[in-house]
Amino acid sequence: MNEDKAPFVPYVNLHSDGSMEDAKPARVVSSCRLDIYTFPFDVQECTLTFSAFITVGTELKVFPSSTDEEITKVSKDVMTTLGEWELLDITSEKISHQHESEGHLIDELAFHIRVRRRSTLYVVNLLIPSCFLITVDLFSFLLPPQSVDRSSFKMTLILGYTVFLLIMNDLLPITGNTIPLINVFFCLCLALMVASLLETVLITNLLLGSKNLRPVPRWVRALVLRTLGGLVGLPWRDNKEADTRASPVSEQRRADGAPEEEKGPVVEDNALQELRSLGADLKVIRLQVEQQLGVSQSSEEWIQCCPQKIKSSVVLFIFISLFMHGSCNSIMPNCSRPDSLALLEALRPVFNLSSIRPVVNISTPTHVSIDFILVNILGVDEKAQILTTYIFQYLMWRNEFVSWNPTECGTKWLTVPRKLLWIPDVVINEFMERNLAQKPAYTYLSHNGTVFDAQPVRVVSSCRLDTYAFPFDIQNCTLTFNSYLHHTSAMQLGQIFTTEKILEFSRGMIKTKGEWELLGIAASINRLPSSASVGEHYDELRFFISLRRRSTLYVVNLLIPSCFLITVDLFSFLLPPQSVDRSSFKMTLILGYTVFLLIMNDLLPITGNTIPLINVFLSVCLALMVASLLETVLITNLLQGSSRQSQLPGWLRLIVINMLGRLVLLPPKSTQAVVQNPFTLEDMEAVSGRAGVGGALRKEGVVQQELRRLGEDLRVIRLRLEQEVAGGQSSEEWVQVGFIVDRLLFAIYIIFISASFLTISLIWVNS
């Protein structure tokens, strides 16, 4: 696939019997179909196929000079390095096959090389650290969520694991067709970590906010509390005492054997009235404390729910086209005997004319037929807009100076050095670099003057790439063949095969499964006016190559982690901001996502005209994360400092509370207190003034005086508690604004994530 950069050896050994021995080093860059499903414990088998590039098997045969065991032993002995790969064995295979219709022989010798990867590096640097981190995440379940911020711990762990995978990404194999098993392992580890984090967010929400939830539905109680709870060893026991909780006075009366009700008229004295007033205040205090602490049957049930490589047929097919007869005058060489030496001597006058176009009449154009076979797609550089391919280029034209009698000269064709013949100046317009492929030294010359030239070409061509739908994009690149100097009056272009045959041959030649897949090949021949000569035209043969990117690598390394992180940020809205520092959680998540984007930047395409859709998606994800962080800071400020805020403006109350609140299912709350104070201010003033009425105090007993004093203290405690828990009307409205904004951003998040996931899935399926 590339230039041989090994030192050149200019000599060969020539023996007395005519045998020759040639030895030279070669640096081989070859294509090989790799199966890395079991990476890093994989064994690969690659093939080096030796054959003549243009000479058929009736003229040249190849054989192995040593046995497979000798080749393997010598190779292992000279390999002094201990690198990543270990040589297992080398086997050879002699391949001789014939063309089905013509019977021409193709002779090849294939050496199969089996190598095994040394896996210690990958086990130590990849697998063991991953196992360590997933074990840490396992033990994090031992942290009590009710007293430790387990979500921040898990978020930091996911951040560390993501950075670890991104730094170690160069060690992982990159393929476009199959996913290595180790990549699946890493994705599952990350998915488990994300799932455990989401579970922690959910249980934290239930532990701290279950008091505001409705009672647990019966099907949830039966499925989760009873079935799953018994399965994981956490059976649920009904707490009937919470439903039938009686007042301390009633319990004491039952303990004393007193009846619940007394029949007949009851005469209430002043001490009994004070006790009832005191009991009413105690009930209000108890309800407020229970609401503040979340002690309820529904809360307990919700909390309980969640602790849980040319082919022979191609060569022969091309070679058939050599037998084409022309009607032009030519130089007829006379062979003194029917052998190749006599023919070569007779053709020397023709070889002396290699510097001019081979036509008898200068006004006769030379018809050059062009074709190619796409052997491999080496890569696409989106930044430089360059396509690198490896092709076999075929040219065929007629040399009118050549014609001989096959019977007299003993052969129909002859292989001659390329430098002895005129070669058309056919170039590829999109060529951007020097051809680094090895060039064969010979061409075929037929008895009727037809010349067949074939050579491999490593094409580095410019291509206008459209990466808007990256990584689900299809690229259309062009290879334009034309004469660099000759006009149509001197050279005219045509094709050897149809585009269907070219596509079939190309798909048969491409053995590797890299990032790009060949979809189709089309061709067109155009005659265009020359810009250098007025009235002249030139022919242009243009091939359109359609390629499709295999997107698995980018889905696994870019889209799935991004979806994981944005989902985590979505579920972070379940963390109650009044009890958990949600802003620190979101800041850690933004830090991890930013590091992820910076390290994955080399995978993203860079173009000057359009912005790829994936870049927009990643930018919007980051923008939503930042917006959610700012919203969290705002709502935290409102929750902690709403008591110091001025009264909510009317227009803000109308837009946010009355309109947006109903839109997000958070309607305005009633201004009426939940529990009314059964006593008025006049009653309290009367009670507080009783100490000044000496005559009445002297008429009542000591017990009644103590009860009154106790009642006054309890009323003051109740008023202070109501002010702490409920706050003022302005404070409640500001807090309501914060919750409405939080719910609105949560709904926007859900709409964006659903639309993004659906769009990505549809584009992936359609591509």
Q: Please give the pLDDT value at position 115.
A: 93
pLDDT in tens, 523-582: 999 998 877 777 788 899 999 999 998 888 788 778 888 888 888 888 888 887 777 778
Widest CA span in the chain = 159
Q: What is the CATH number of domain 334-550?
A: 2.70.170.10
Average pLDDT over the chain, rounded to whole? 78
pLDDT in tens, 393-403: 999 999 998 88
Handedness of CA 51, 53, 58, 60 (dihedral sign): negative
Is residue 727 over pLDDT 60? no
| Alpha helices (H) in 256-335, listed in sequence order | 270-293, 297-305, 312-320
| Alpha helices (H) in 49-149, listed in sequence order | 68-78, 120-122, 128-139
Higher-pLDDT residue of 461 and 170 is: 461
Query: Phi then psi for 106, rounded to 5 degrees?
Result: -115, 125
Peptide bond before residue 129 is cis, with ω within 30 degrees of 0: no
Q: Which helix (H) or strand (E) holds 543?
A: strand 537-549
Distance CA 674, CA 291 (A): 11
Q: Which helix (H) or strand (E) holds 110?
A: strand 105-117
Contact assessment for residue 359 and residue 346, using Cβ atoms and an 8 Å cutoff? no
Handedness of CA 713, 714, 715, 719 (dihedral sign): positive
Q: What percent of the chain has pLDDT over 90?
A: 15
Is residue 295 over pLDDT 50? no
Measuring CA to CA, how many Å separate 171 from each of 36, 39, 45?
13, 11, 21
Q: What percent of the chain has pLDDT over 70?
A: 79
pLDDT in tens, 234-274: 777 665 544 444 444 444 444 445 444 444 444 446 666 76
Q: Which residue has the tokens 């100076």?
A: 401
Is residue 493 over pLDDT 90? yes
Measuring CA to CA, how many Å separate 604 from each of 175, 596, 615?
16, 12, 8
Query: Phi then psi for 331, rounded to 5 degrees?
Result: -85, 115
Q: Please give the pLDDT value at position 689.
A: 53
pLDDT in tens, 731-750: 677 777 777 887 888 888 88
What is the number of residues in the chain? Answer: 767
Q: What is the mean pLDDT of residues 70-98?
A: 86
DSSP string, 184-196: HHHHHHHHHHHHH
Which residue from 546, 388, 377, 383 is spatially nearest to 473, judged by alpha carbons? 546
Handedness of CA 227, 230, 234, 237 (dihedral sign): positive
Q: Which residue has the tokens 């063991």?
A: 128
| Alpha helices (H) in 210-247, listed in sequence order | 218-220, 229-231, 240-243
pLDDT tier for residue 305 given thresholds of 50, 70 and 90: low
Measuring CA to CA, how many Å separate 447 from each of 423, 443, 454, 495?
18, 13, 18, 22
Contact assessment for residue 417 and residue 444, using Cβ atoms and an 8 Å cutoff? no
Q: Which residue has the tokens 């190619």?
A: 372
Helix (DSSP H) and strand (DSSP E) numbers for the chain: 26, 15
Torsion of CA 12, 15, 20, 23, to 10 degrees: -40
DSSP single-letter state for residue 665: T
Which amino acid is it at 220?
Answer: V
Q: Please give the pLDDT value at position 212.
A: 64
pLDDT in tens, 355-379: 888 998 888 999 999 999 999 998 8
Q: Which long-range contacts (CB under 8 A, 24 or more apart) does 342-345 make?
A: 342/409, 343/404, 343/409, 343/410, 343/411, 343/414, 344/414, 344/416
Q: What is the mean pLDDT of residues 571-598?
A: 82
| 3-class SS letters over 32-49 | CCCCCCCCCCCEEEEEEE
Distance CA 122, CA 655 (A): 59
pLDDT in tens, 648-686: 677 777 777 777 777 777 777 655 444 444 444 444 445
Higher-pLDDT residue of 207 and 76 is: 76
Query: How many Å separate Cα 648 from the centre of its chain?
Result: 47
Which residue from 240, 502, 278 is spatially nearest to 370, judged by alpha carbons? 502
Contact assessment for residue 68 and residue 92, using Cβ atoms and an 8 Å cutoff? yes
Q: Please give the pLDDT value at position 543.
A: 95
Q: What is the mean pLDDT of residues 95-100?
A: 70
Distance CA 394, CA 495 (A): 10
Q: Please give the pLDDT value at position 525.
A: 92
Record the pTM: 0.65
CATH class of the domain comprising 31-118: mainly beta
What is the b/e burial string over 370-385, where b = at least 16 CB atoms within 10 angstroms of the residue's CB? bbbbbbbbbebebeeb
Q: Where in the chain is the domain with CATH 2.70.170.10?
A: 31-118, 334-550
